[in-house]
Structure 1
Amino acid sequence: MQSVRDFNAGLLDFLQASPTPYHAVESMQTRLAKAGYLPLNEKDAWQLEPGKSYYVTRSGSSIIAFTQPTEAQALEKGVQLVGAHTDSPCLKVKPQPELHRHSYAQVGVEVYGGVLQNPWFDRDLSLAGRVTYRTDKGELASCLIDMKKAVAIIPSLAIHLDREVNKQRSINAQLHLPPILWQEAEGEKFDFRVWLKSWMLEQQLVGDMEKIHDFELCFYDVQAPALIGVRDDFIASARLDNLLSCWIGLQALLEDQAPGSLLICTDHEEVGSASACGAEGPFLMDVLSRMFPDSETRTRVINRSLLVSADNAHGIHPNYADRHDANHGPLLNRGPVIKINNNQRYATTSESSAVLRELALLEDVPVQAFVVRSDMACGSTIGPITATNTGLHTVDVGVPTFAMHSIRELAGSQDAWYLYRMMTRFYRDCPRLNG
């Protein structure tokens, strides 16, 4: 098993290499292939062999990896599933984004998910995502891009022009969030697709390109992930929610390719998961149906299985402690958080929670619990959605975090490693409930 130092070093590299869900899935594919996992294509017939490990992607932004068990193994202990999501709140470029205002070339953006908007101002922003284009031969193709360099910024309005800004700041996403790319020369007319095509050809990302048809691009902060604090107590980064959980699940899966181990990381959780590649879509059941073609066997296997839905939790903020239930305020670096909500915003039950608590005991790591204040609304995860669609026994767990949905979030440098140890044990030797 990795040390906490090596685990966190790998996490920081993964976060840096994954500015979008497409890049995260590409990075995970590379690591799975290196570990001997075989690629599958949903368009092909599958011939799965017990003991062999596979991975399959959908839409380029969701991925499932698993080791095929024998039918006897599956009927004995079911499948051990860890689920996370690849997407994070961000600003996405609109299809016709060109804005020309007072000589500045800007792009219109759409807010994706529950973005905490204030922190996006005065950041060095780059662009990444997927571009679909027509080749010189008339064929359609797609490729991933990551500009890496800071190419845009959203400047704040000076306090002299908004004296009440520190008391109240209201952001209009349509008016105030378009980033500035450059200042246009006299008579210059900014065309986003022309500029993007020129950049891609200059970078030699494609061999030939007639025109760009469309794109799915988002802005991101170029500031690198880092361990921070006098004692390196914290991890600061964009997209901790929820690439941190993707990394935990991936590293636990690669630790021991145990038959029946499965990792699913899906897109679009931040906007409700209702898509072909989201947790509300058929991706997981499609894969389970091909792993276990017989419906009777599949139903029995699902009933013996457990899904760990891994998604970040809200740590108690020392400056805003009143926003938590006093008995359920998770602390950073004090262990993973079991998330409970009796209105089914989380899928945890007393039985599924007991399995996680047992794993924590076996690995000698701390564990905490989170319940939202009774007078506040509760967020949700892929847990209840997946449980509803599949019938899987499910538990919701996550690493406590500050500034969730900000452009730069904060987590404890010990907690992800704690959860990784628990998930490694979960895949290798999951405690079973009697009955």
Structure 2
Amino acid sequence: MKENARPADSDGGARERALRFVNFLTAAVTPFHAVAIGSQMLERAGFVALDESAQWAGAITPGGKYFYTRSDSTLVAFAVGSKYAAGGPFKVVGAHTDSPALKAKPLTKSSAAEGLTQLAVCTYGGGLWHTWFDRDLGIGGLVLVRSADGALEKRLVAIHAPVLRVPSLCIHLQTAAERESFAPNKETHLIPVLCAAPAPPSAGAGAGAGASEDAPDPFSAAQEPELLALLAEQLRVPAASIASHDLTLFDAQPPALAGARGEFVSGGRLDNLASTFVALEALIDACADGRLDDERGVRCVALFDHEEVGSASATGAGGPVMEEAISRVGEALGVLPKGELALRSLRASFLISLDNAHAVHPNYRSKHEAGHRPLMGKGCVIKTNANLRYATDSVTSFVVRELGRLAGCPTQEFVVRNDCACGSTIGPIISERLGVRCADVGMPQLSMHSCREMMGAQDLTHCHALLTAFFRRFGDIDARLGACKRPRAEP
């Protein structure tokens, strides 16, 4: 990655972290890639891969570092304190690996129109779909390859070349109303162009050929041949061997450091790969040699898929991933599921739900509540909502502010205006399911859910410091909270 702007921050650590994140973002074009790269980061740091289908008893020991994946798009990593005591707390940072995007439909062939070959796509999540027009787009994801002997292999693919584009309608062909209010139809107006349509076969070509043993199966026959050719070339396999796929379109323009002083990060998927990246680095750094020596609990990062579509899946925060992780790790360390020690462990645990926040927009300042106006580059945002769209309460918000104080990094506060709708996160979902204390936190950004978003580069380091303090200092804060007497009603 070429450095195209000079980061404003003079701290070499912050500069290098921002550049590492840009490289991570460039490669992590889908949740599958994010999990694969995250797994490599963990393995290089000494984390041991576990198999969910294997027995964990005897494989997990105090002082050990581990991770596992589910369906290749969700990742759980954890480290057990060297002084782990049964019933000890889980200190969890939760984030998600998915982002709103255009995805290829299972059957990708789209009717050729006006001399152009297009790709059948569907919308995933709540994207700002107008931002996908007139952008050069690549495509990537997971491909299932079948060999001649019937063996199957899962392969990752990422075509960074600008092979797709959704062209907008020129202004001269729009009505006055259309020019004033751009409202594309997601089914008919978002179909990307892949290439020029091939010439039709000559008359009689293939006539009388009949069925052939080599004829493609119905799935392959319904795929766009030009797409299969691209995938086959990238994977170096025959096109006929592609048995299935899960493909996502992405901005072909690489992420970059931006701004006159390089103080911003510009790119797709900042929501929520910024959180994914920082959470992984913070866990790795907090569990380096010797840093688990005095730990009595478990430090954990859980990265879920499907947050942008409600989390209700086997790999989402609404599924059993988090509950099973805590239960299986505890059981492997001698804590019976649902038993006294397991319940005590949950009550002592804490979750930071890490998902990017809304920075105040300089051109739409009235959209933010007057007293809660987060700025990019000024630290993590504590998100609160009286109607529980976020899981933060007065005590958990104090914990985050205190962590910031101990780490020497700033924090900010956000509540949505009373006349605006409020988004949500995995925080309330996991908190409700497990009864665990939770704070919703995020790095502030602009253009959330756009094809290309922006955030402050310095906030990556602010967030890293906060999470590292959480893993290493939360016990001190919780002990002080535990010493508080129960409030009494005044006479």
Q: Quote the residue 1:61 is aligned against.
A: 73
Correspondence list, 1:267-346, <5 A: 267-293=305-331, 294-295=336-337, 296-346=340-390
CA distance in 2, matches of 1:384, 1:2: 37
Q: Quote the residue 1:249 is aligned against.
A: 279
Q: Quote the residue 1:394 is aligned against.
A: 438
Match of 1:177 among 190, 195, 199: 190
CA distance in 1, matches of 2:158, 2:17: 25
Correspondence list, 1:187-206, <5 A: 187=200, 192=223, 194-206=225-237
How many residues matched? 433
Q: Quote the residue 1:142 is aligned against.
A: 154
Q: Quote the residue 2:418 is aligned against.
A: 374
Are 1:135 and 1:209, in contact at CA under 8 Å, matched by a contact in 2? Answer: no
* Amino acid paired to 1:55: F
Are 1:68 and 1:291, in contact at CA under 8 Å, matched by a contact in 2? Answer: no
Structure 1 gaps, min length 5: none
Match of 2:107 among 79, 96, 116: 96
Cα deviation digits, residues 232-261 of structure 1 (max 9, x gap): 221111000000000110110011213511
Q: Quote the residue 1:217 is aligned against.
A: 247
Are 2:144 and 2:155, in contact at CA under 8 Å, matched by a contact in 1? Answer: yes
2:89 paired with 1:51: no
Match of 2:31 among 6, 10, 21: 21
Cα deviation for residue 97 of structure 1 reads 2.3
Are 1:133 and 1:210, in contact at CA under 8 Å, matched by a contact in 2? Answer: no
Q: Which structure: larger Rg?
A: 2
Are 1:133 and 1:209, in contact at CA under 8 Å, matched by a contact in 2? Answer: no
Q: Provide the secondary structure at the position in 2 that maps to 1:375.
A: coil
Q: Quote the residue 2:482 is aligned against.
A: 434
* Amino acid paired to 2:346: I
Indicate the percent of aligned positions where both proteins have the same amino acid: 40
Are 1:131 and 1:214, in contact at CA under 8 Å, matched by a contact in 2? Answer: yes
* Amino acid paired to 1:7: R
2:364 paired with 1:352: no
Are 1:193 and 1:212, in contact at CA under 8 Å, matched by a contact in 2? Answer: no
Match of 1:407 among 445, 451, 467: 451
Are 2:251 and 2:268, in contact at CA under 8 Å, matched by a contact in 1? Answer: yes
CA distance in 2, matches of 1:209, 1:215: 12
Structure 2 gaps, min length 5: 1-10, 203-220, 484-491
* Amino acid paired to 1:89: P
Cα deviation digits, residues 193-250 of structure 1 (max 9, x gap): 54444334433445x6753332110110011111111122211110000000001101
CA distance in 1, matches of 2:102, 2:86: 42
Instruction: Please give the root-mean-square deviation of Cα atoms over the aligned residues, in Å.
Output: 1.9
Using the size of structure 1 for normalisation, the TM-score is 0.95
CA distance in 2, matches of 1:391, 1:229: 43
* Amino acid paired to 1:160: H
Are 2:165 and 2:192, in contact at CA under 8 Å, matched by a contact in 1? Answer: yes
Q: Provide the secondary structure at the position in 2 that maps to 1:383.
A: helix
Cα deviation digits, residues 251-291 of structure 1 (max 9, x gap): 10011213511000000000000000000010111111111
Relative to structure 1, is the Cα distance of residues 408 and 27 closer, same or farther in structure 2, using a 3 angstrom cutoff? same
Cα deviation for residue 68 of structure 1 reads 2.0
* Amino acid paired to 1:331: L
2:243 paired with 1:232: no
* Amino acid paired to 1:4: A
CA distance in 2, matches of 1:245, 1:361: 20
CA distance in 2, matches of 1:116, 1:373: 21
Using the size of structure 2 for normalisation, the TM-score is 0.85
Relative to structure 1, is the Cα distance of residues 382 and 350 closer, same or farther in structure 2, using a 3 angstrom cutoff? same
Relative to structure 1, is the Cα distance of residues 205 and 338 closer, same or farther in structure 2, using a 3 angstrom cutoff? farther
